Structure 1
Amino acid sequence: MAEREILPFGDPVLRKKAKPVLELAPKILRILDDMADTLYAKPGRAGLAAPQIGILRRMIVMDCGEGLIELINPEILEIQGEQLGPEACLSYPGYTGIVKRANVVKISTLVRSGETRYIEGEGYLARCIQHEIDHLNGILFIDHVEDGQLFRDQTGQKADLMQALKISR
C-alpha cells in the first residue's frame, strides 16, 4: 500500500469520464488500498475518486466520519430533497464553495467482495457520495458552486469563480 499523488485543479484528467471496473483483480484492490492510504494522509479529507490520482476507473473511497467506504461502479438510483452547504476538494486545496445537492441519495455499488450493495445516504454522507460520483463523470464541485459563493480557506475572502473554472478546464 502506498500514498498516491493527487492531481491538482487544471489537470485535464479531472475532466474525463471514468470507465467501469470490469474485474476485481488484485491490481484493482491494491489501487483501492492506495486510495485509502492517500485519503487518510490528507487533512480535511472525506473522499477520493480514482480520477483524482490519475486512474480513469469508477472507484471511490470515502470516510465521512463512520469509517472507510469503498464504492466500485457506483450508480445513483434515486435522489430526494435538497441541501445547501460547503464543499471542498483534495484537488482544489485552499477553496471552499457553497453547493446545492440532494439531501438523500440511494445508490447501488459493487464492494470489494464483488457483491452488489445498496446504500442510502442522507445529509453529509449524501453530499460526499454525490461529490465523489461527480468526479467519476468529469464534474468538479466548482461546477456547482452557487454564484459568488467560492471562498479561500485561509482568509475566508471570496474567490473569483470564473477564474477558478478557467484554470480547471
Structure 2
Amino acid sequence: MRAEIRRIHRLLGSATIYVTHDQDEALSLADRIVVLRDGGVRQIGTPQQLFNRPAHLDVAEFMGFRNALPATIVRKQGDDVEMSLSGAFLRGKGMDQAAAGAVVAAIRPADLVPQPDGAIVATVTGMEYSGDYFLGSGRTAEGYEVFFRARDAIGQGEQVRLGAPADRILVYAREEGQ
C-alpha cells in the first residue's frame, strides 16, 4: 500500500499530507516529516535528519529510541557527553542544552548489545528470536526496562552487561517526570 501511495503522489506531482503514528510509514513515504506533540511542532526535517538526529526525546522515541535511561552528566565538551549511569560511566552525544545535571540517555535496541565491559547491567526478562539475531529485554537494578539485540540467546534471569557506541547514544535534558 505504501508503494502505491508513493506512486500516486509522484504521478500527481503535488504536495501530499499523510498522517501516521507509524515510524516505518513516515520514513518510507515522506520527503519531509513534521513531528507534532500536543498540537505543536516538535521537529521538521528529512527522514534521515529525524532518524539520525532527533531534536527532542519524544521525537527520538518515535524514531525508535526505546531505551530512555536517566543519567547524570559528569563532563561535557561540545556535544560529547560523559555520564554516570547507575554508578558506571557512559559516553554519548548531547542533543540539546543539557549542560549539567540530570539527563536521559536514549539508545535504540539495535545499538545496545552485550559487551564484556558494558556500562548498563540488566537481568534478562525475555528473548525473542528474530532470524539473524535475538531481541532481548531486561531490567536494571534500579528497575528500568531495557531492550537490546544479541547474536545468541541469553537465559531469563541471567545478568548481561550492555553497551553501545558513543555516537549512537543521544543525550537529552531530563524533563519533569522522567
TM-score by length of 2: 0.28
Richer in strand (by share) = 2
Structure number with higher relative contact order (C-alpha < 8 Å, ≥ 6 residues apart):
1
Richer in helix (by share) = 1
